[in-house]
Amino acid sequence: MRKRKGSVEARVADAYEAGRLVPLASSQAERKKLRDAARATLVKDRRVNIRLSSPLLSDLQARAAEEGMPYQTLIASVLHKYVTGRLVEKPSRMTVSTGSRG
């Protein structure tokens, strides 16, 4: 799937293709520390079951499709961003703006 123009991934790919990315020198210890952190982050060792309304699940699936990812990955990403304080609300492109609600 092609990334949206202006996305972080597209900008990184453009910078890479233009030769503007320079590898950082790192020690073996630093690489091992980063590798271990990445592995620990990616381990999904717990299952969680939640009940969602059909409309909410449909909206999540549509939003995930917009982002080009599975809906369960989107849910996990939203939860991760929330608990780390990095959740920034951004309206879906599918949402129609109706002005202010009173």
- Domain with residue 64: its CATH number is 1.10.1220
Domain membership of residue 60 as a residue range: 47-89
For residue 79, is it within any domain?
yes
Per the structure, the count of domains in the chain is 1
pLDDT at 6: 67
**Segment 6-22 mean pLDDT:** 85
45-101 confidence digits (pLDDT tens): 888 999 999 999 999 999 999 999 999 989 988 898 888 888 877 777 776 555 555
Question: How many Cβ atoms are within 10 Å of 4's Cβ, its own excluded?
Answer: 13
pLDDT at 61: 96
pLDDT at 63: 93
For residue 72, is it within any domain?
yes
Inform me whether the pLDDT recorded for 5 exceeds 70. Answer: no
For residue 22, is it within any domain?
no
